[in-house]
Amino acid sequence: MTGHVYLVGAGPGAADLLTVRALRLIERADVILYDALVTDEILALAPQAKRVPVGKRGGRVSMDQALINRLLVSTATKHEIVVRLKGGDPMLFGRAHEEIEACRQAGIPLSIVPGITAAFGAAAALSTSLTQRGLSRSVTFVTPTVARGSQASPSWAKAVAAADTSVIYMGRGDAVWIRDSLIELGMPASQPVVLAEDVSRPSNFTVKGLLADLPDLALQLGSGPVLMMIGEVFVETKADVDNLSPASVPGLLAASVG
């Protein structure tokens, strides 16, 4: 038999942020191949499915992407509904193109179900729009992370420096490099930043501060997935903007959101 593969966005973590289409597919799935960032709360919605962990986390032992591709194809030759469940949105930093191509080459029918990416979940939790009239007319999503054996490119830093608001995925371990690269490109050391961990989950946590102190802010977080968000939209009032300086970091907010 040949089943149907669905690349499904699981959103930032909270089960009630799933789309209706995603929920229906999870409830009907014969097999779910899921990422490391998919929560137990979401997996509990599929007690009928065989659940296979195929996730990746930076700096940890994880399944090779080529093996995931082969597993996805072989599973679809044995089961009718195969859900490839990805954190956030499958089309953003999810290597979806490789899985799509593997299914196409094998003649496996495939559909894609979008999800809420973590940046939008974080903006909602902060009650802060990533775009604001007169302040931010451009937003960029980047990651400095590259595949093993690949050479790092400065393109991500140039994109951040050119945008009014930026969200950096998978950057916690590169906090020093990120700070230095952006300052070298002319971004002020006093640029406001927010680090958001475990977005939309009960353990969610944020720290606010300045670009100059990005590495120190990163050390205040735990082991959950982290977003780095940069831009003037993260200062609530003009007085706050005027008062921001590296010396003010100890007095800045470090609090749970929710």
Nearest-angstrom CA–CA distance, 208 and 221: 12
Residues 165, 138: contact at Cβ < 8 Å? Answer: yes
Instruction: Report the pLDDT value the prediction gives residue 245, as an integer from 0 to 100.
Output: 41
Q: Which two tokens stand for residue 225?
A: 């997935």
pLDDT at 240: 45
According to the model, what pLDDT value does residue 244 have? 42
Q: What is the pLDDT of residue 180?
A: 97
pLDDT at 154: 79
Cβ-based neighbour number of residue 17 at 10 Å: 19
What stretches in the chain show pLDDT beneath 50? 237-258
- Measured between alpha carbons, how far is 53 from 108 in angstroms, rounded to an integer? 21
| Residue located via tokens 């191509």 | 101
Summarised one tens digit per residue, pLDDT across range 198-237 is 999 999 999 999 999 999 999 999 999 999 999 999 986 4
Retrieve residue 246's tokens. 């590296």
pLDDT at 258: 35
Region of 151 (left: φ > 0; alpha: ψ -120 to 50; beta: rest) is: beta
Tokens 């997935």 found at = 225
Domain boundaries, the chain: 4-113, 118-255
CA 177 – CA 147 distance, rounded (Å): 17
β-sheet bridge partners, residue 48? none
Backbone angles phi and psi of 15, in degrees to 5: -65, -30
Look up the pTM and report it: 0.86
Q: Which residues are catalytic?
A: 35, 56
Using a 10 angstrom Cβ sphere, with 0-12 exposed, 13-18 middle and 19 or more buried, the burial of residue 87 is buried
d(CA 89, CA 9) in angstroms, rounded, equals 5
pLDDT at 62: 72
Which CATH number is associated with domain 4-113? 3.40.1010.10
Phi, psi for residue 38 in degrees, rounded to 5 = -75, 130
**For residue 213, what pLDDT is reported?**
96
Name which CATH class applies to 118-255. alpha beta
